Structure 1
Amino acid sequence: MDNFQEEGSAPHMKGWRTNSAQPSLPESHRSLHIPHTGSGLKKFLAFVGPGYMVAVGYMDPGNWATDIEGGSRFGYTLLSVILISNLMAILLQHLAGKLGIVTGKDLAQATRDHYSKPVAIALWILCELAITATDLAEVIGSAIALNLLFGLPLLYGVIVTAFDVLLILLLQNKGFRSLEIFVIVLIATIGICFGVDLILAKPHFGDLLLGYVPSAEIITNPGMLYVAIGILGATVMPHNLYLHSSIIQTRNYNNDEKGKRQAIKFMTWDSTIALTLALFINSAILIVSAATFNKAGMTTVSDIGDAYHLLTPLVGTTLGSVMFAVALLASGQNSTLTGTLAGQIVMEGFVNIRLKPWLRRLITRLIAIIPAVIVTILYGEKGTQELLVFSQVILSLQLPFAVVPLVRFTSDKNKMGQFANKLWIKILAWVITIIIILLNIFLIVQTFSG
């Protein structure tokens, strides 16, 4: 299998040990046609999709608790942190997509190729832990949404989420484009729900805009700094880097220099627009929290369930709470789908183990459900909220092990040729990497020290 080389795949560059590899996501590899004639808009639309699948990870249930807490405690001040986190994500996702387009390898394959086998296996295990943590957040988020909307007990909601594997299997059988369309529809649902909540919350527009301007208080106020780091840790998701470097290869772009440059340009537009939408949604969660809870003097709201119940009396209608819960359910289901793909990509890329997608999905989901069921039985709703926070800490631990190889590979002229990062991008990428590592170390130390 390791000697497989698909026609039209990326030529070998001297920086890589292997001449060829099994293509990433082989069942979908280069399956979507890119028109060679017509307008630039027509070509761009053919590339639209992967960016939105990546954006899902930036608005998953793990983000909600930190955004709600940030808004209720500090008003609009931490909007600047969401903006900065999003700008970091835009650059990192650009690098991930570029790696896949130029080399024909996803980040997991590139890591396996570059490092020794023991190191690659260790990085794979860390990545699997991160994906399981992501899945755990999705299980809990979906279960909470089902409880809020339909009164379904949390334990039953956790068990019900196991069956979404059937939905994933159905969509995968219909082709990769159907997956992308489904994701975009759910993102639109989340956007509409929060659009309604923003109208109902009636935020102060001037204060809202000022929130996007960084404040020195974020650094000097220990409580604010802790929540700010939590927002950053929950925003930049390691599995998204593996995902993007793979799914961009579903496009059948020309494999020459011109074709790759065009693919990189359209990929960057796609992911930047999609992540801007993610910025709106994450901002909306914090803005609604600030305009309702903080304005009413409720500065200790951080629980998703509490936020749901408190919204109705504050905005004067149950519609606000219903929109909030529907958005949470859509977020959990969306993240489930992309988490499955990321799991398949890292398993195949790091260790070349190939499982049927439905089996891979079932294994990942069961690993996430077991701790969720145990905690729900023993500690109830409070325990699931704490488990949600803990899942974000695990993601923080994994993040440097994805970001450092990505920046290193895309800055290497031997590996990337003329597509290697320019000096200013290289400097900016390493600065962002160092900031992320330092902030995540601080978050982990603070979390475990209480």
Structure 2
Amino acid sequence: MGKSLEEVHQSVSTQNKKSVFRKILAFFGPAYLVSVGYMDPGNWATDIAGGSQFGYSLLWVLLMSNLMALLLQSLSARLGIVTQRDLAQASRETYSKPVNYILYFLAEIAIAACDLAEVLGMAIGINLLFDIPLIEGVLITVLDTFLLLFLINKGIRKMEAFIIVLVAIIGFSFVFEMIFAEPELDKVVYGLVPSIPSEAALYIAIGIIGATVMPHNLYLHSSLVQTRNFERSSAGIKQALKYNFIDSTIALNLAFLVNAAILILAAATFYRNGMYEVAEIQDAHRFLETLLGTKWAPILFAVALIAAGQSSTITGTLAGQIVMEGYLNLRIQPWVRRILTRLIAIVPAVIVILIYGESVTGKLLILSQVILSLQLGFAIIPLIHFVSDKSKMKGFHVSKTTQIAAWIIASIIVSLNAKLVYNEITGWLEVSENPIVLWLTVVPLAFFFLGLLLFIVFKPFITKAKQDIQNHSPHHLKLHFSKSESYTKKNIAVSVDFSSADEIALNSAFELGGMDAQYTLIHVVETVGAMVYGENIDDHETLIDEKLLLEYKVMLSQKGFNVTTELGFGKPNKVIPDIVNKAGFDILVMGTHGHTGFKDLVFGTTVDKLRHKISIPLLIVKN
């Protein structure tokens, strides 16, 4: 599988920095590209609607969403840093083709919905500031694609700098908006207390969650952290995780302040003046000058909107590239790929505006954010599984506490979405003149996606349980031993890896040595920590391997075989020869199984290195 965002992969060096500040600065950047997705025009629509209809009462939803986002983005960064795989690539390696195609389709819909919000938002900003018609504004956004190509050719650091400038423009604009609006601080604090005033507020709240915790950002972050080139040691990975968490904390809290400012602005101007129906960005812009008494309020509003749209379209298009390449392994020319990604968003926007007019843009923006929220579960749940997987994360899996927190967040999001879908479908059934059509189309589709979500939730637990039964117990081995006239080997080394390959390796060894031979079982721990710290490593996988090796010894000893064990640490092609050459073995026996890594060991260049490094015969036994 290719590298994620290959043109900028590991293009930023973080090594040989003379000061701690410079080292931290080298890691800073990816989270700022991610943060613009948390302050894009879709957020504006939901924040304005929430503030104008319910005042400050939904501020707590923004705060909760920000905390969710911080945890999930840190998990996404961890996946990319440790495994050097983005979320889409990790999914492709884990799930079957049909499941991956569906997940890709859902991710593409989410990115289209996100891009739709960004395209509309920027077009609205252009329309408000320069009085250019909305359709023409939408078409102008195609030029973003070429801006992205220009920036990425200049290097990821130039792109990050450009995005940070746009974020600064948004931030400063809203500092002045807050000064003009003079919000009621006591009510702002009260708005941080959880409450849902009505069913309509629930719809807006889910839209806010969808606009804040964005699925495409999870794909994006897991890729962007791989632009940093750092030492692939245990200490280097820990340092990268630490600095990226700091980066995420700062960037996402800035995004939260911008979102909170938009909602507070709507509450302090529209809600306070009884204008509860202001949900359109255009209406908000039109009333700002009248209500705040300064012409700068609408101008700064439009400038910030263009900056938000411009920055988020760049990152949204990058996410589209990551998803397409990761799920489909489809590599096409960058400019073609980005044009396609942009057209997926622009075509629906143009069609809707042509049919329904410019008045529906606000509803379209909120709908896009609800669609994003509905897709969240299909991105979050695989992510949690991946970063909790001890073997995939090579000793850097998340703690039980973090897993519980992540599952609580996933449960909240999925539960809210399930309630929203149920409410929407029952509402359609009640008002529909021909409900049978809905029963035959929408209802089965909802159940299908529910089934898919449950499959993604429980499959790793079921698969892992089966693997634990099969691989993590020596008692599944079917060992046979038949007496022979003569045995040629007296001191036999057997490489084991706690899989079905061990069965055929051990049986082959017994045929060579019988009951009188001395057998030494060799297993090598290959985690990152083992490679760095050797026998001093004390991680979970090492403890498990030690336990299993001892169980093998006890079981075989009970059957009458003379068994000792050797546990090595590092790369097998180096460690196994060291162990073998120190003892007087007659032969080394190795079995094969279907795992790629071991196939590489047996059939690739590794086995040639191993064969040339040992002074005894090597017996490779295939299943």
- TM-score bin (small chain): over 0.9
Task: For residue 183 of structure 2, give the secondary structure of its aligned residue in structure 1.
Answer: coil
What's the counterpart of residue 63 of structure 1? 43
What's the counterpart of residue 497 of structure 2? none
What's the counterpart of residue 360 of structure 1? 337
What's the counterpart of residue 197 of structure 1? 177
Q: Amino acid of the residue matched to residue 261 of structure 1?
A: K
What's the counterpart of residue 101 of structure 1? 81
1:77 pairs, out of 32, 48, 57, with: 57
**Structure 1 CA distance, aligned partners of 2:366 and 2:64?**
21
Instruction: Write the deviation string for residues 87-145 of structure 1: whole angstroms up to 9, x where unpaired.
Output: 00000000000000111111111000011122112211111111111111111111111
What's the counterpart of residue 170 of structure 1? 150
How many residues in Structure 1 have an aligned counterpart in Structure 2?
A: 427
1:184 pairs, out of 164, 177, 190, with: 164
CA shift for structure 1 position 37: 4.5
CA shift for structure 1 position 79: 0.9
Do the aligned partners of 1:233 and 1:440 also contact (CA within 8 Å) in 2?
no
Do the aligned partners of 2:15 and 2:231 also contact (CA within 8 Å) in 1?
no
1:265 pairs, out of 236, 242, 247, with: 242
Structure 1 residues 445 and 335: CA distance shift in structure 2, 3 A: farther
Task: For residue 69 of structure 1, give the secondary structure of its aligned residue in structure 2.
Answer: helix
Task: For residue 57 of structure 2, give the secondary structure of its aligned residue in structure 1.
Answer: coil
CA shift for structure 1 position 208: 1.6
Residue 38 (structure 1) aligned with residue 38 (structure 2): no
Which aligned pairs between 1:51-450 and structure 2 lie closer than 5 A? Answer: 51-212=31-192, 214-215=193-194, 217-218=195-196, 221-447=198-424, 449=427
Larger helix proportion, structure 1 or 2? 1
Gaps of 5+ in 1: 1-20
**Structure 2 CA distance, aligned partners of 1:120 and 1:272?**
31
Do the aligned partners of 2:280 and 2:361 also contact (CA within 8 Å) in 1?
no
Do the aligned partners of 1:35 and 1:42 also contact (CA within 8 Å) in 2?
no
**Structure 1 CA distance, aligned partners of 2:69 and 2:300?**
27
CA shift for structure 1 position 371: 1.5
**Structure 1 CA distance, aligned partners of 2:418 and 2:359?**
25
**Structure 2 CA distance, aligned partners of 1:31 and 1:400?**
32
**Structure 2 CA distance, aligned partners of 1:104 and 1:51?**
17
**Structure 1 CA distance, aligned partners of 2:424 and 2:213?**
18
Deviates more, 1:271-280 or 1:201-210: 201-210
Structure of larger gyration radius: 2
CA shift for structure 1 position 386: 2.6
Do the aligned partners of 2:207 and 2:367 also contact (CA within 8 Å) in 1?
no
Gaps of 5+ in 2: 429-623
**Structure 1 CA distance, aligned partners of 2:101 and 2:301?**
40
CA shift for structure 1 position 446: 4.0
Instruction: Write the deviation string for residues 175-222 of structure 1: whole angstroms up to 9, x where unpaired.
Output: 11111111111011100111110110011222222222x23x32x633
Do the aligned partners of 2:279 and 2:362 also contact (CA within 8 Å) in 1?
no
Instruction: Write the deviation string for residues 401-433 of structure 1: whole angstroms up to 9, x where unpaired.
Output: 100000011011121132111010010100101
Q: Amino acid of the residue matched to residue 440 of structure 1?
A: N
What's the counterpart of residue 4 of structure 1? none
The TM-score with structure 1 as length reference comes to 0.92
RMSD (Å), alpha carbons: 1.4
Do the aligned partners of 1:56 and 1:278 also contact (CA within 8 Å) in 2?
yes
Task: For residue 324 of structure 2, give the secondary structure of its aligned residue in structure 1.
Answer: helix
Q: Amino acid of the residue matched to residue 116 of structure 1?
A: S
Do the aligned partners of 1:230 and 1:443 also contact (CA within 8 Å) in 2?
no
1:28 pairs, out of 1, 5, 8, with: 8
Task: For residue 287 of structure 1, give the secondary structure of its aligned residue in structure 2.
Answer: helix
**Structure 2 CA distance, aligned partners of 1:394 and 1:427?**
26
Identity of aligned residues (%): 55
**Structure 2 CA distance, aligned partners of 1:445 and 1:385?**
23
Q: Amino acid of the residue matched to residue 352 of structure 1?
A: N
CA shift for structure 1 position 298: 1.1
Q: Amino acid of the residue matched to residue 153 of structure 2?
A: N
**Structure 1 CA distance, aligned partners of 2:332 and 2:168?**
32
Q: Amino acid of the residue matched to residue 101 of structure 1?
A: I
CA shift for structure 1 position 233: 1.8
Instruction: Write the deviation string for residues 272-319 of structure 1: whole angstroms up to 9, x where unpaired.
Output: 100000000000000111111111111121111100001111100111
What's the counterpart of residue 50 of structure 1? 30
CA shift for structure 1 position 155: 1.1
**Structure 2 CA distance, aligned partners of 1:76 and 1:42?**
40
The TM-score with structure 2 as length reference comes to 0.67
**Structure 2 CA distance, aligned partners of 1:372 and 1:204?**
37
Q: Amino acid of the residue matched to residue 108 of structure 1?
A: A
